[in-house]
Structure 1
Amino acid sequence: MIRKIFLTGLGLALTTLFLHAQNIPPYLDTTYTDAERADDLVGRMTLDEKIAQLQNRMHLVQPGETGVGSFGFMSNDASPYAGSEEYNIYQRAQIENTRLGIPATRSGEGLFAYMGNGSTSFPSPIGIAASFDPSLQAEVAGVLAKELKSRGVRRVLAPVVNLTRDPRWGRTNETYGEDPYLSGQMGAAYVRVMEKAGLSTMIKHFVANMGLDGQFTGPVHFTERHLREYYFPAFKTCIEAGASSVMMAYNNLDGIPCATNPWLIRDILKGEWGLEGFVSTDGQSSTFIMESAGMYKTKKDLAVALMNAGCDKSSPSDFFDAPLREALQEGLVPEARLNDAVRRILLQKLEAGLFEEPYADPEAAARLNNHPDHRAVAQEAAKRALVLLKNDNNCLPFPKSAQKIAVIGPLADWLIIGHYGGFGREEVTVLDGVKALLPDADVTYEKGVEMQYFGYPAIDETHLSGPLKAEYFDNENLKGQPVVIREEPKIEHDWKSARPERVPSSNFSVRWTGAFTSPVSGAVSLGVTMDDGARLYLDGKLVLDEWKGGGRRMKETTVPLEAGKTYPFILEYFDGGFGSYIQLGWDINENINIPRAVEAAREADAVIIVAGMYENENWDRTDLDLSEPQEALIRAVSQLDKPTAVVIQSGTVITMNDWIDEVDAVLMGWYPGCEGGHAIAAALFGDYNPGGKLPITFPKVTGQVPLNYNRHPKGKEKIKFIGDFNEPLFPFGHGLSYSQFEYDNMELSASTIQPGDTVRLRFRVTNTSNRAGEEVAQLYLHDPYASVTQPIQKLIGFERLALEAGASKTVELRILPEQLKIWDINMNHVIEPGDFELMAGASSTDIRLRAQLTVTE
């Protein structure tokens, strides 16, 4: 294998002569440019070899085959070492058994973790955005790059720079929030690090991936001006930062699927913005378009539309196999368009160094993934992502001298990591974090209620007909004789690493046999919450079958029951890896355990309620409230008049109208990553001073949505919602601290400039408190008079400051010509002469300083 070498002068010349003398083709010769190598390789390829580069499948290539362009996802369930070894086997066959030896690309999700076994997980992107610190995103990306690359991943399907303009959208947690500038800065920081490390980034999803109703894949009908003002800028910034590919959105834009929209791909991405890399559909997007768009009768029709619009890869890739061949034969797609698509894919492989370094390093993969140093970065990221939303009466931080602490709620001893966060590592819950921080305190735990969609209260001894017979097996399939047989009072287990003696730490199975008596008549939902798989038999009949691996989830079945009747049941469960959870519950009384939580809180010096919600891809919401049982728990505990803080784990905003006035403190933890519990505990007890800010507006009630800070002015500001629902609960940029900060001394390097000039703005921020803290100073712009209406304000700069008690720092931000431009009445991107208002402050509504900048003719 020829390794990439860096030579100059005579050494480079001699190396070139040597390679040419050995008849090394230019595409393998690193003395040629990547573009020249790509051109040479395309010129040598047959039609079959070109089509192969458009294919995406896990395939062990046999001698004489044309191979595949990419393996896609592979070995996600395997350990880092085993997965890397398997990848090397497939890659070696790909290189050695094909005529041209073109390596295949392994793709991986890398938003905030490698989406597989044994990786480090960081806070979800919206949490990282709450840090308002691109350098933190760069540090996180650096760790992710090491873990991904060690496993052979060279194409990372990230970052997501879609805007969340409606937080009901389930993919809110994947984004950087609602603001174009913040999203662009965070996304660009990710892109630069990944591309420099030899991983090709695929920014997604172009464009406006959230429907008008807040639903995933919903159609949008936006004007060009609206797209250019809000939805285009972050993508453009990432392409300028070096992003090498783009994933198109699922949805339709003004009636045309984004992946078949030539204006988006040919005119904007490849034309106006000069994208040299390739463009791909989203996963299974081609199938969705085929089935739902009502535009394409055959696969060939869609293949033609995709390719001629400028889309270079399809998922699934069979659209670009036989259907594309047929289209090429019929002249419906020019061969030059195929060559362009193949060249773009090959160029990305060459730029990533895949030809010179095609293999993974299993030893490095085992060493680097979930490394303690990486977890330390995850903990720091989780701290910097925290946003202190409310802190009346200086409720926080709690004193570390507190002797009795109650940690309650459905997420007190469970972290939500998120769909893209991987699995197979220790995850530090808030309960874990508090116990570790205060080892001598009396820490009590009560769940109180179950997490919405993830469980019902366990069927307990009151309704069970005596103890259950539990049989434990040392394999996943209930084979052979049980290694342990014992009685258990109910089925409610979160074993983590503690299992019965003689039971393996993983890959075991259990069978419970017993009976329950129903207290009600009617339809009752039985819910089995599990990590991995389970089966439930009722009265000898299989009523629930979820015998497959997977993360924690609840599967439920509704059955007719009669009050007073006893029902025999058998529940079978298997554990296939890290983490073991199983619970059998029902929905008869979801608030039944609240009194136990209240009693735990009654005896405590400090109460921590950890609540939240789960949303995800294909998990959009109709409301943004916590579940009713969680709100009932908060209200019940708040009546005790104890020092109480609510910690939220969520990937989107939470409306709190029904309980916010009853608690003193609220801390937003987002999906905090595998070290989240340590970070949250440190903030609650004063070892860390929160400094994050909201990258998205929190409404009071769902009916205010969409509610964005940078909206255009209303026609009549006096038109209001009925009730007190006209302002947000917490505005964009909001975040409190245990310190206080003052702003003063704003000055411009010039108050009058001409179009095209850059101006510097300076102001001072002082920590006026007696403890060190961090503040995010934010700069907003408003153009009060323009040829078309402009947003009431927009973020154009920010800086996160760390200030010791009493210390000051001068913030200096450049105002660039691009930030003053608007899309005028004729859709020209221009700077219009006139006055611009500049506003600096602690949030979009907490403006401390103002200045005027005048642009002259």
Structure 2
Amino acid sequence: MSEPSSTTTSTREAPLPTDPAELLSLMTLEEKLAQIVGFWDKGDGDAVAPLQGAFGDPQSLHDTSRHGLGHLTRVYGTNPVEPTERAAWLWEFQRWLVASTRLGIPALVHEECLTGLSAWKAATLPTPVAWGASFHPELVERAARLFGATMHELGIHQGLAPVLDVVRDPRWGRVEECIAEDPYLVATTGTAYVQGLQAEGVHATLKHFVGYSASQGGRNFGPVHAGPRELEDVLMVPFEMAVHEGGVRSIMHAYTEIDGVPVAADPGLLTGVLRDRWGFTGTVVADYFGVAFLRVLHHVAEDLGSAAALALAAGVDIELPTGDAYLAPLLEEVRAGRVSEELVDRACLRALEQKAELGLLGATFEDEPPTEIELDGPELRAVARELAEESIVLLSNDGTLPLREPAKVALIGPNADRTEALFGCYSFVNHVIPQHPGTEPGIEAPTVREALAAEWSGAEITHVQGCEIDSEDTDGFAEAVVAAEGADVVVAVVGDQSGLFGRGTSGEGCDRDDLELPGVQRQLVEALLETGTPVVLVLLTGRPYAVGWALETCAAVVQAFFPGEEGGAAVAGVLSGRVNPSGRLPVSMPHSVGSQPYTYLHPHLGGDTDVTNLSSRPSLPFGHGLSYTTFERDGLEVVAGQTSADLTVQVNVANTGDRAGAEVVQVYVRDLVATVTRPVAQLVGYARVDLDPGQRRRVSFTVPPARLAFTARDGRKVVEPGAFDVWVGSSCEDRELVQEVRLDGDVHEIGTSDPRLTTVAVEDA
């Protein structure tokens, strides 16, 4: 970036107003447009954004900012830069904007923060699908508070997270960025993230509104064919809760089209739903280059000016990461009378109101930037460790685990000793560092091999890679088999490499057309099984794979969804028994690629029936997860509300084993007869309950009408009277405790002010 002069002083005779509307009235058209765009010194090539190299910055930062600047894009997250040095640069640039532009408005700085701040040397947490596996939104909120405080200290105002797309197809590369296939789990976890980040003065940005995860064939940017009921009752649910319950201040549009209309050009969604129905008052920002993509990819605009007109009218307030369409092309459209300046005013006022909320209007940056900052301190690492431990799912176990004192261990597999295997595609390690060969990760992240060596100091551990992640080369099999034959147990660590746009097996633009483990990894595991030595399979992946064969043949299978910087130690702790696994599947484990797309939320005819010879039943259901202790549930009581369509659900849960553990109590509902088809199971409440051996607790859920509601034929969100099955179990398929209940009275319509959250109370039984 060009360096602004630090010697420029303001010649402004009087301070300018800090009221957004009054400030808007003083602005020229060029100054208004400057406030609704970003600037990104992104460098060359397709490194960290789709088609990044297709767009060039026509001007330097100094020239672009002569009328002011709306956003500074990824100041810390584009290159490996020393955070304190970059902070000094940022403060100097903000002072230049204040002193040298006519209106003196600082820029809003945004960064990626999907797994913590995506910057060099910053703590990196597990991926969001691991958050879902933890079923612990309070812990996610605590994590967001911690790295949100760091972001605020660095002068960052907005984070581009969380991703609230509901998983619909495991073939899609961005499954790792999502939280779950259940909209309520996504909604509660995502809303907790929003509340944590915004509590520290950093605005969260919901991604990607809406439908992105339902793309055709699980292909990135693929067309979406979701009907209005799927949009309303599944895909929109997390966004609505984050608006109503979380008070989110920014939302990013999805790249995709729905039934032929790109979301970035759809006023029915970006204005009609978000603002008119839900009352959202924040800013809608473009996904990177999303406005230009209306011309380049969707072909609904003949040039950038037309693309800008469509997006602005639809309700996209801020063009990110740069002003490819909203600067010169939009200026020409307004000057020619083809776009009303009132639309520019609408977007600019929202941008100014956001800056006012963040304290930027009137800010001088006369304070000093941080000269020391702890990006990966002990408190944040402790949360990263806790989240990693709680997110690991024990899929199967024949009693081999835990391995308390193994003597000879063959540690085999392409992910056994790779730091990158712990992280998702929006981690700095996998997102940016690959573009800078020779750069160290900057954080301490022991691999599984290093963590096991520390966990089992007395064991003889023989490490053999065996094969690459995504290669057909089997030359390493022979050495791996020899190691397995000489060991008491094999720990096989396989899975994904996260990357972007085809440079990985998981991540943005890294979609799959099958759900077998990439490359020859399955063949490697099968070769190890043939030795007769017990094989413990550890999956470090970004998506669920079709590993039903492993569930039947391996001594144990452990699933870790890119568990972050403390993930190696968390895996080691689960294998040794130091950690009692408590994660539960946030996505179904698929049986085959041919059964996709699949979701446990399917109606009756979406599952196995007598009218088709093909099974869609997953290998393991949503909510499944084993423990080293045992739990018992009893005493289910379900009471329907007297004046509204709510439910009270109470159940006892007890630890009947010999060690402490956490049970995830899951409440499901099925509407037995309705005017539209309804899912065979739907999560309406859950609670993570820690229990000592022999401890027994009673868990109470108050399920509001919104959790039972659906979109009726006339478009209203309603709860119809009638019979419902309610059950509590260890997964969506576990109907150990079930009770039928009737809701009487009239159809109950859900209003905008109705609560969306199921409340939970836990007390001694």
Same fold judged by TM-score > 0.5?
yes
Higher strand share: 1
8 Å Cα contact 1:150/1:361 also seen in 2: no
Matched, 1:772 2:754: no
Give CA-to-partner distance per residue, 1:519-539, whole Å, 9 cap, x none: xxxxxxxxxxxxxxxxxxxxx
Shift of 1:639: 2.1
Q: Partners in 2 of 1:359 and 1:84 — Cα distance? A: 12
State whether residues 391 and 666 of structure 1, in contact with CA within 8 Å, keep that contact through their aligned partners in structure 2. yes
Task: Tell me if structure 2 keeps the 8 A contact 1:152–1:361.
Answer: no
CA distance in 1, matches of 2:550, 2:197: 43
- Counterparts of 2:740 and 2:36, CA distance in 1: 54
Once the two structures are TM-superposed, the CA of residue 757 in structure 1 deviates from its matched residue by 5.0
2:599 & 2:268 partners in 1: Cα distance?
Answer: 28
Question: Structure 1 residue 284: deviation in Å?
Answer: 1.4
Structure 1 equivalent of residue 581 of structure 2? 690
Which AA in structure 2 matches 1:71? L
Distance (whole Å) between structure 2 residues aligned to residue 373 and residue 365 of structure 1: 20
Q: Choose from 193, 216, 240 the match for 1:236.
A: 240
Superposed, 1:387-426 pairs within 5 Å as 387-392=393-398, 394-399=399-404, 401-415=405-419, 416=421, 417-423=423-429, 424=441, 425-426=443-444
Contact persistence 1:752–1:856 (CA under 8 A):
no
Where in structure 2 are the equivalents of 1:520-535 lying within 5 Å? none
Per-residue deviation, 1:815: 1.1
What are the ranges of 5 or more consecutive residues in structure 1 without an aligned counterpart?
Answer: 1-21, 28-36, 457-586
Distance 1:50 1:388, change over 3 A: same
Counterpart Cα distance in 2 of 1:445 and 1:800: 36
Q: Distance in 2 between matches of 1:176 and 1:702?
A: 21
| Bigger shift: residues 169-178 or 37-46 | 37-46
Q: In percent, how many aligned pairs have the same letter?
A: 33
- 1:438 is aligned with what amino acid? W
SS at match of 2:103: coil
Q: 1:146: Cα distance to partner?
A: 2.4
| Conserved? CA contact 2:607–2:617, under 8 Å | no
- The one-letter code matched in structure 1 to 2:486 is E
How far is the alpha carbon of 1:64 from its aligned partner? 9.3
CA displacement, residues 368-389 of structure 1 (integer Å, 9 cap, x when unaligned):
2122332222111110110000
Cα distance per residue 1:26-48 (max 9 Å; x no partner):
41xxxxxxxxx222221222222
Paired residue for 1:84, among 74, 83, 87? 87
Alignment equivalent of 1:821, drawn from 706, 709, 712: 709
Residue 166 of structure 2 contacts residue 181 of structure 2 at CA under 8 Å; is this kept in 1? yes
The reply to whether residue 847 of structure 1 matches residue 735 of structure 2 is: yes
Taking structure 1 as reference, are residues 747 and 716 closer, same or farther at Cα in structure 2, changes over 3 Å only? closer
| Counterpart selection for 2:491 from 585, 608, 621 | 608
- Does residue 655 (structure 1) correspond to residue 546 (structure 2)? The answer is yes
Structure 2 match to 1:728: 618
Q: Is the 8 A contact 2:139 2:383 kept in 1?
A: no
Distance in 2 of aligned mates of 1:428 and 1:139: 23
Amino acid at match of 2:292: T
Distance change (3 Å), C-alpha of 1:765 and 1:652 = same
Which one of the candidate residues 513, 519, 524 is aligned to 1:633? 524
Match of 2:340 in 1: 334
What amino acid is aligned across from residue 753 of structure 1 in structure 2?
Q
- Aligned counterpart for 1:753 among listed residues 620, 624, 642: 642
Partner in structure 2 of residue 263 of structure 1: 268
Q: Who is 1:441 aligned against?
A: 459
Under a length normalisation based on structure 2, what TM-score does the superposition of the two structures give? Answer: 0.86
1:57-96 equivalences in 2 (<5 Å): 57-58=39-40, 60-61=61-62, 65-76=66-77, 77-96=80-99
CA contact (8 A) 1:151 1:365 kept: no
**Cα drift, residue 350 of structure 1:** 1.8
- What is residue 284 of structure 2 aligned with on the other side? 279
Does 2:714 correspond to 1:714?
Answer: no
Asked whether the 8 Å contact 1:150–1:360 carries over to 2, the reply is no
1:197 aligns with 2:231: no
Q: TM-score, normalised by structure 1?
A: 0.77
Give the Cα–Cα distance (whole angstroms) in 2 for the partners of residues 173 and 78 of structure 1.
26
Alpha-carbon distance, 1:607 to partner: 1.9
Matched AA of 1:96: A
Aligned partners of 2:490 and 2:535 also within 8 Å:
yes
Describe the superposition over 1:316-341 as per-residue Cα deviations: whole angstroms up to 9, x where unpaired.
42211122122222333322221110
Superposition CA RMSD, Å: 2.1
Secondary structure of 1:376's aligned partner: helix
For 1:780, the aligned partner's letter is: Y
Match of 1:135 in 2: 138
Matched residue of 2:648: which SS?
A: strand
Q: Structure 1 residues 757, 357: closer, same or farther in 2, change over 3 A?
A: farther
Residue number in structure 1 paired with 2:46? none
Partner of 1:215: 219
Distance 2:87 2:328 in 1: 32
Aligned to 2:296: 291
Deviations 1:388-422 (A, max 9, x none): 00112x111012x2222221110000132122111
State the alpha-carbon separation in 1 of the partners of residues 156 and 565 from structure 2.
21
Mapped pair 1:381 → 2:387? yes
Q: Is the 8 A contact 1:784 1:836 kept in 2?
A: yes
Q: Of the candidates 409, 428, 450, which is equivalent to residue 446 of structure 2?
A: 428
* Alpha-carbon contact 1:388-1:737 (below 8 Å) kept: yes
- The one-letter code matched in structure 2 to 1:267 is G
Secondary structure of the 2:162 match is coil
CA distance in 1, matches of 2:65, 2:121: 36
Task: Confirm or deny: 8 A CA contact 2:221 2:256 kept in the other structure.
Answer: yes
Larger Rg: 1
Is the counterpart of residue 592 in structure 1 residue 475 in structure 2? Answer: yes
Q: CA deviation at 1:357?
A: 6.4
Note if 1:351 corresponds to 2:381.
no
Matches of 2:410 and 2:155 in 1, distance apart?
45
Contact map agreement 2:143 2:196 (CA 8 A) in 1:
no
Residue of structure 2 in register with 1:795 after alignment? 683
Instruction: Summarize the Cα distance change of 1:730–1:365 in structure 2 as closer, same or farther, 3 Å threshold.
Output: farther
CA contact (8 A) 1:176 1:182 kept: yes
Distance 1:364 1:623, change over 3 A: farther
- 1:171-191 deviations in Å (ceiling 9; x for gaps): 000001211111000110000
Structure 1: distance between partners of 2:264 and 2:741: 42
Deviations 1:814-842 (A, max 9, x none): 11021222211211212211122211111
Secondary structure of the equivalent of 1:263? helix
Structure 1 residue 218, shift from structure 2 partner: 0.6
Q: 1:55 aligns with which of 15, 22, 37?
A: 37
For residues 159 and 43 of structure 1, do their structure 2 counterparts lie closer, same or farther at Cα, with a shift above 3 Å needed? Answer: same
Greater CA drift, 679-688 or 758-767: 758-767
Q: Distance in 1 between matches of 2:317 and 2:641?
A: 47
Cα distance, 1:278 vs structure 2? 1.2
Residue 302 of structure 1 is matched in structure 2 by 307
Provide the rounded CA distance (Å) in 1 between the counterparts of 2:140 and 2:275: 27
Shift in Å, 1:25: 4.7
Structure 2 unaligned regions, length at least 5: 1-12, 41-59, 430-440, 498-505, 746-765
CA contact (8 A) 1:81 1:366 kept: yes
For 1:49 and 1:752, the matched residues in 2 are separated by 56
